[in-house]
C-alpha cells in the first residue's frame, strides 16, 4: 500500500471535519449543535480547499510551528526547518541541503549581449558542481508599475 503524502493527509482530515460537521448539523434537531456542526463543516471545507491549492505553503508552516519531523518509509527525515533531508544508513548520516538563490534582475532590462553573458556565467557555475544536485527555478513577473 502506498503511503499517503502529508498534503493528502491534511486534505482528508479537513474533509472529514467537514463531513462530521455536516452530520452534526443534520442530526442535532435544532439545538446548539446545528451551529457547531455548520461551523465545523464550513471550516473543514475551507481548510480542505486551502490544503488542496496551497498545501506547498501551508504544510511547511505547520511543520515549522509545531516542530514536526517528517519521516518517510525509506528512512529519510525532514526536520521542521525543511532546509535539509537526512538519512541514517548503518550509523552514517547523509544529508542533502537546500539553497535558495534570489536573483533580482530581469532579462528584459539587459542588452542581448549581457543576457547571453549572464546565461553563460550561470551555466558555468552550475556545471562546476561536483555532487548530485537538483536545481529548480521559481520565476515570476513582478509588476513594478505600482512602485
Per-residue pLDDT of the chain (147 residues; tens, 9 = 90+): 455 566 677 778 887 877 777 777 777 666 777 777 777 777 878 888 888 788 777 877 888 888 888 777 777 888 887 778 888 888 888 887 766 666 666 777 788 888 888 888 878 877 877 776 667 666 666 666 665
Q: Compute CA distances 10 → 4, 47, 85, whole Å.
A: 10, 8, 21
Q: State if pTM tops 0.75.
A: no
State the cell numbers at 140. 515570476
Q: Compute CA distances 14 → 32, 46, 87, 117, 129, whole Å.
A: 22, 8, 31, 50, 42
Amino acid at each position: 500500500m502506498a503511503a499517503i503524502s502529508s498534503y493528502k493527509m491534511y486534505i482528508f482530515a479537513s474533509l472529514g471535519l467537514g463531513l462530521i460537521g455536516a452530520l452534526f448539523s443534520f442530526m442535532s434537531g435544532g439545538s446548539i449543535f446545528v451551529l457547531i456542526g455548520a461551523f465545523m463543516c464550513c471550516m473543514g471545507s475551507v481548510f480542505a480547499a486551502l490544503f488542496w491549492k496551497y498545501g506547498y505553503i501551508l504544510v511547511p508552516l505547520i511543520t515549522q510551528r509545531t516542530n514536526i519531523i517528517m519521516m518517510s518509509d525509506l528512512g529519510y527525515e525532514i526536520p521542521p526547518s525543511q532546509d535539509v533531508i537526512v538519512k541514517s544508513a548503518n550509523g552514517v548520516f547523509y544529508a542533502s541541503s537546500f539553497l535558495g538563490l534570489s536573483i533580482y534582475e530581469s532579462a528584459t532590462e539587459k542588452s542581448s549581449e549581457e543576457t547571453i553573458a549572464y546565461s553563460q556565467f550561470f551555466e558555468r557555475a552550475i556545471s562546476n558542481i561536483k555532487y548530485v544536485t537538483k536545481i529548480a527555478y521559481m520565476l515570476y513577473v513582478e509588476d513594478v508599475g505600482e512602485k
